[in-house]
A and B are shown apart, each in its own frame.
Chain A
Amino acid sequence: MTTKYIGKPASRVDGLEKVTGKARYSADFKVEGLTYGFIVSSSIAKGKITGIDSSRALALDGVLQVFTHENVRNLPWFKLRYTDLDAPSGTPFRPFYDNTIRFSMQPVALVIAETFELARYASSLIKVDYEEETHTSSLYQNISKSFKAPKGKIGYVPPKSRGNADAAYEDAAFKIQAEYKHSAEHHNPMELFSTTAIWDNEKLTVYDKTQGVSNCQFYIGNVFGLAYKDVRIISPYVGGAFGSGLRPQHQLFMAVLAALELKRPVKVGLTRQQMFSFGHRPATLQKLALSASPEGTLESVRHEAYSETSQFENYTEVIVNWSATMYACENVELKYELVKLDTFTPLDMRAPGAVTGVHAMESAMDELAYTLKMDPLIFRLKNYTDEDQVNEKPFSSKELVACYREGAEKFGWAARNVEPRSMRDGKNLVGWGVATAAWDANQMPSRAKALLSIDGKLVVSSGTSDIGTGTYTIMTQIAAEILGIAIENVTFKLGDTNLPLAPLEGGSWTAASVGSAVKTVCEDVRKILLKHAVKTKASPFYNYDPNKLQIDSGEIFDPNDSSKGISVTEIMRLAGVNSIEETSTSGPNPLVGRKYTMNSHAAVFAEVKVDEDLGTVDVTRVVCAVAAGKILNPKTARSQILGGVVWGISKALEEESKLDHQYGRFMNHNLSEYHVPVNKDINDIEVIFVEEKDDIVNPLGVKGVGEIGIIGVAGAIANAVFHATGVRVRNLPITMDKVLQIAEDDRNQVAV
């Protein structure tokens, strides 16, 4: 077959638009008569607004309106009208609902003006008076107020314990226990959140930055009392999101509010600073206790996590559950609790929960391996499991051993001296660390439409999103191969509520979910084409068995008889059809989910060089070996894993949203003080996709690659830092001050 595209490293179909500046992101849509909004953020974290004076702003020529809680009327009081598909339990934040301040930098006013500059300037003239109340923003000082995490959020599964971990730990020969602290983190996609809303002819058109156009349609329809059919959300390009676009953000509400009120098109963007005023990866405290037999059998796991949430919603993610499925162990005790703070509700951020819990678990596993004097990779292999012990089910596929083997080989793990501080490169201490990773391979119900025209062009569409993941490209590949036409003749459309319904773009499930719908709908079109081929009298295949026919390169043919053939366009002409249009739905098979646990896996190997005098850590090499089923496009999938590894390096060494508890505010709210890796920070990264055949997981055999790349990286780096220095830094990020301080503490302890 020549039109075989699945599994090929095709370059991105949207690449040309992206390198020429033609790709339109949410703030790039030109609209006649556009006005600009600028949001005023609260300067306190908790209290009441006692007065807002907008007079100076309103007095300026060109300022059209200032919206505040005092003049916004007719918003629904019913809290559920503000909910969305990714909302946790609780009461969603209602902008301009009342005078209560619930978090620092809460939007308190919206200025609309004829130019951006004027709106920004006018916002500085608005005077807001507050009656401040005492806020609390420290997770660690409020652990005693923790409570059991409630159900209610999509994807959240409460932890399940088994056996008797306390007793096993008590009796065990080898044991460790430790605490891990993670700071809050913000997604910080490069694109600033922006929305342009246009109210025209009783219909609303919205250009938004989102990972789910339907979610925004649902939210806007409910909040502003509009029929869903009159709300169209468009989002063809998203400049990164990483979870931040899963919920409707402040600017969406603001732009729509103003556009409806003023009957003029409105663009509202958030500043980089204001992008620290919505969801973030929560700060956490984790406590782990592991024990093993002298032979290295894991005998008990106790994993507790305390995570922050807001006063108004209960954000939950799966942090501790991974510790119950990653290794064989009879005694597992898990606990996951929340602490309410006066900050905004946390939000899913790339590999939510797993990246947090797995770092702690993998660090603890490394620590226990050292206690046992076992190679940390051998220790992991010794406790390998092919069964999900929580649900007592086998995995649909699990090529993790191949990940360990191929990763270790590529990395050169066999040459490792197990002793800490045993390797050196000049003034740098060198260390090697390993960690395991796992993530869910989910599939969600999804719809897709295919339209084949008589000119042989196929347009396939679904209201999903491409946040840089490669959705446009892989869907085009699937459609072209399934129908059997050249990829140049296929266009995939997404990011529009006029297109068939797709799930939120997240959780690494888009390839499986939307991909399966695209496959199904193209199979349907193919069946119709073959039906025409055998039912049309003038067709060379008239009265043939359609099951014996194939389509390749746009030609219908019989593989056993090369004397005949007809093109797809010709058969449509002969059959008298101008186009074939089909819409199909695809969803997970519930029976499969009952019988199997479906996970992707990875093994991560990292090399660090630590300056002995300064404590600075450089990640010089990473090998990430991934088992994620069928890889639809090795080029874009590799990029996903590369990005995941960069995020892992970032989590391990750089990222930290610093709360100043005096103000209850994230103080480093800009890209200069909130550190993410720059080019110079990133060195060699090797990505391996091990062969993994999975006919169970979904019709395409794919597991998704958006999050599996990040999950094990921070653990591997933390373990490499220990191997290099003998210093165990358990609180992320691993910064030079921590490395040096702990080294000094360790020395003092030895001295005592």
Chain B
Amino acid sequence: MKQETSTLETDDPFSDTLPAYTLVNLRINGQTHKLRLQPWVSLLDAIREYVGLTGTKKGCDHGQCGACTVLVDGKRINSCLTLAIMKDGAEITTIEGLADGEANHPLQDAFIEHDAFQCGYCTPGQICSAIGMFNEGRAHTLEDVKEFMSGNICRCGAYTNINAAIMEVKSKLENE
């Protein structure tokens, strides 16, 4: 990666040179976004502020709440704890990319049916996290789901409904 200016390589503690811009290719929901970013931009802020997909939410910016969960190559991660430049070329899926054409992902419909949210702010993260959990293939029982979904806080307290939605879709997917 070519750097446009020199970076913080100096002994002077009062040097305030800003980090250089680099070109990053972010592949989000099947579309490539060519961005000029400074390395201090988190994947979350890149998705929200630079690409403009605001479905992914910032709830703490510290990896403590799960609202920013997205799928990277099928694995769920906290996008606030990831720098955008680390995911150059990776396949990123956000809440906006889950539908198959006009058809919602079954979890999206199940979340509506089971009223698995109230304010809806944690919902994109909950849904992406649940899909990531399905991909991991280690959640077999309700107790497993409760354990493996515990990285996504829902302050409205919709957990029992979230679990009902997840269990319904889980058994549907397994019977397919």
Which among A396-404, A465-473, A480-488, A494-502 touches the partner chain?
Answer: A465-473
Quick check: is A218 within 8 A (CB to CB) of the other chain? no
A672 to B: closest C-beta gap in Å: 4
The distance in angstroms between the C-alpha atoms of A252 and B30, with both chains bound, is 37
Chain B, residues 25-65, CB within 8 Å of chain A (1/0): the string is 00000000000001011000100110011111111111011
Please, how many residues of chain B have a CB less than 8 angstroms from a CB on the other chain?
62
Check A188/B155 contact, CB under 8 A, given A19-B104, A682-B160. Answer: yes
Binding site secondary structure of chain B: loop
Cα distance, A685 to B160, chains bound together (Å): 8
Complex contact A190–B57 (CB within 8 A)? yes
Residue of B nearest to A636 (CB): B115
A311 to B112, CA, bound (A): 46
B45 is contacted by which of A117, A121, A242 (Cβ under 8 Å)? A117
Knowing A14-B120, A643-B118, A676-B155 are in contact, say whether A59-B61 is a contact too (CB < 8 A): no
Do the beta carbons of A192 and B120 come within 8 Å of each other?
no
> Is B95 positioned at the interface, with any CB of A under 8 Å from its CB?
yes
Q: Give A353 Cβ to nearest chain B Cβ, in Å.
A: 21
Among A4-47, those with CB < 8 Å from B are: 11-12, 14-25, 27-28, 30
Q: Is the CB–CB distance between A189 and B119 below 8 Å? A: yes
Contact B40 A19 (CB under 8 A): no
Instruction: Give 17 pairs: A residue, B residue, CB < 8 Å, sorted on A.
Output: A11-B115, A19-B111, A19-B124, A20-B55, A20-B108, A21-B95, A24-B54, A28-B48, A28-B54, A59-B16, A272-B60, A272-B61, A468-B117, A642-B157, A676-B155, A678-B150, A679-B152
In whole angstroms, what is the CA distance A75 to B4 when docked? 43
Q: Are A642 and B57 in contact (CB under 8 A)?
A: no
* Given A24-B54, A678-B153, residue A117 in contact with residue B38 (CB < 8 A): yes
Q: Does B122 sit at the interface, judged by CB under 8 A?
A: yes
Q: Is B62 in contact with A20, judged by CB distance below 8 angstroms?
A: no
Residues on the B chain within 8 Å of A747, using CB = none
* A671-B59 in contact given A60-B18, A240-B121 (Cβ < 8 Å): yes
B: residues with CB less than 8 A from A are: 14, 16, 18, 38, 40-41, 45, 48-49, 52-62, 64-65, 67, 94-96, 98-99, 104, 108-109, 111-113, 115, 117-124, 127, 145-147, 149-163
Kindly list 11 other residue pairs between chains A and B, CB separation below 8 angstroms, not including A25-B57, A678-B153.
A12-B115, A19-B95, A21-B94, A190-B122, A272-B60, A642-B160, A676-B153, A676-B155, A680-B150, A682-B160, A684-B160
Given contacts A21-B94, A21-B95, A239-B57, contact A189 B121 (CB under 8 A): yes
**With A15-B111, A117-B45, A190-B67 in contact, is A272–B121 under 8 Å at CB?**
no
Q: Are B121 and A25 in contact, CB atoms less than 8 angstroms apart?
A: yes
> Bound complex: CA of A682 vs CA of B155, how far in Å?
12
CB-contact partner of B41 in A30, A117, A468, under 8 A: A117
Given A117-B45, A642-B157, A676-B155, the answer on whether A191 and B55 have CB atoms closer than 8 Å is: no
The distance from the CB of A711 to the nearest CB of chain B, in whole angstroms, is: 15
Determine if A190 and B18 form an interchain contact, defined as CB atoms under 8 angstroms apart.
no
Per CB-CB distance, the 6 closest pairs between chain A and chain B, nearest first, are A21-B55, A646-B157, A239-B121, A468-B119, A18-B120, A468-B118
**Quick check: A679 and B112 within 8 Å, CB to CB?**
no
Cβ 8 A contact of B120, one of A30, A115, A239, A636: A239
Task: Report whether B64 and A670 are in contact in the complex, using a CB–CB cutoff of 8 Å.
Answer: yes
How far does the alpha carbon of A30 sit from the alpha carbon of B51 in the complex, in Å? 11
A347 proximal to B (CB < 8 A): no
Residues of chain A within 8 A (CB-CB) of B53 are 21
Does the CB pair B96–A21 fall under 8 Å? yes
Q: Mark A239-256, 1 if CB is under 8 A from B, else 0.
A: 111100000000000000
A116 with B45, Cβ < 8 A, contacts A191-B57, A645-B157, A682-B160 known: yes
Q: Tell me, in angstroms, the Cα distance from A672 to B150 when the chains sit together.
A: 12
When chains A and B are docked, how far (Å) is the Cα of A640 from the Cα of B156?
A: 8
A635 within 8 A of B: yes
CA distance A125 to B58 in the complex (A): 24
Beta-carbon contact of A190 and B115 below 8 Å: no
Contact of A61 with B by CB under 8 A? yes
Cβ-based interface call for A67 (8 A): no
| Neighbouring A residues of B16 by C-beta, 8 Å | 56, 59-60, 125
Contact residues in A for B118 (Cβ distance below 8 Å): 240, 468-470, 636, 639-640, 643
Tell which of B55, B119, B147 touches A240, judged by Cβ atoms closer than 8 Å: B119
CB–CB B54/A190 < 8 A: no
Tell me which residues across on chain B come within 8 A of A636, comparing CB atoms.
115, 118
Closest residue on chain B to residue A672 by CB atoms: B64
Is the pair B18, A19 in contact by a Cβ cutoff of 8 Å?
A: no
A240 to B156, CA, bound (A): 7
CA separation between A22 and B99, bound complex, in Å?
Answer: 12
CB contacts (< 8 Å) of A28 on chain B: these are 48, 54
